[in-house]
Amino acid sequence: MAALTNTTAVAGAPKISPVKALPFISSRSFSFPSFNQSISSFKPSSLTKFPTLFPLESSRNPSTSPSPPSLKSRLRDGETLYGIFLLSFSPTLAEIASFSGYDFVVIDMEHGPGGIHESLQMLRSLTQTNTPAIIRLPESRGAWAKKALDLGPQGIMFPMIESAKDAKKAVSYCRFPPDGIRGSAHTVVRASNYGINEDYLSNYMEDLLIMCQVETVDGVKKVEDIATVEGVDCIQMGPLDLSASVGYLWDPGHKKVKEVLRTAEKGVLKSDPKNGGGAFLGGFAMPHDPPEELGKRGYHMVSGAVDIGLFRNAAVEDVRKFKISLKADSDGEDDKDSDKKYWSE
């Protein structure tokens, strides 16, 4: 870079010294790969050549940090897991759920208003407590599975699986070629710690829980075949859609719906998931079928509530209490002790 000089003399003006060229670092001093070089050969470890510019301390590498047992390993150890569905896509409620001690949370893209970006924020809220997250897809398609898996959830749930063929497709969406058809960007996505976890490709399937929802009469008829598809880890029952399929949308507790549900449950429980020959059983509690009842019937994963439902119930009860208190005050306006008791509670 040539030095800049003052080429115009002005009478009485102070003399200006030449401006020296600013120091700069030549690109030749770096050994970054050329654009023609395969991105797969460029590993983050190469950045350690420049520790002052790109510090990558091994203690900060998430792949070297100990992690709690996965949902899949806990299920194989015989645990019964309890979780909650999150439909609000509120990071605050996700954070509260994680601190509350749930074994897992389901981020529901099927019925909640959020998408991939909002799911990412939910996952980040769950990170500090290592609460496992399962993402329920809006539909069982490869494009949705690819985007969800790249976020790095511990589980993925496919809705409306009605045959072994559907289940095999779902599994293929979760696996890279040649074992499946999942698209790959493993060098930069969150699932691999943005490429920092160099072991991702060798162990990405070990802890991933693949869940298939059976929620129609046709699905129940094929539930045993679905449960034994290689790669399917859990069959999740969908009681509301199942009641609609049976013909009792407004009455999921109808005896005919219960009969179909029990048939599906028994079909899944016939399998042997601990030895790789079947799937675990997951389900969602209902007012007529509380969580403890599902546990007694052999469910391995029980979802007991929805964040929106919990808040709705609490809000309705809060308003109800206040309205009752106003009525009580109007019936006994001179009862000062009663008034004081209400506000002190």
Q: Which residues are catalytic?
A: 111
Burial of 312: CB neighbours in 10 Å, binned 0-12, 13-18, 19+ = exposed
Q: Reduced to 3 states, what is the DSSP secondary structure of residue 34? A: coil
CA dihedral 173→242→131→59, nearest 10 degrees, is -10
CA distance 65 to 293: 38
First to last CA, the chain: 77
CA distance 75 to 109: 24
Our CA angle for 66, 72, 78, nearest 5°, is: 110
CA-CA distances (angstroms) from residue 278 to 154, 225, 229, 310, 341? 19, 9, 7, 33, 58
Identity of residue 26: S
CA-CA distances (angstroms) from residue 312 to 42, 199, 304, 308? 51, 44, 15, 6
| Contact status, residue 307 vs residue 85, Cβ threshold 8 Å | yes
CA-CA distances (angstroms) from residue 196 to 47, 58, 258? 11, 10, 48
Of the CA atoms within 13 Å of residue 254, those in its CB half-sphere come to 15
CA distance 299 to 80: 7
Of the CA atoms within 13 Å of residue 237, those in its CB half-sphere come to 33
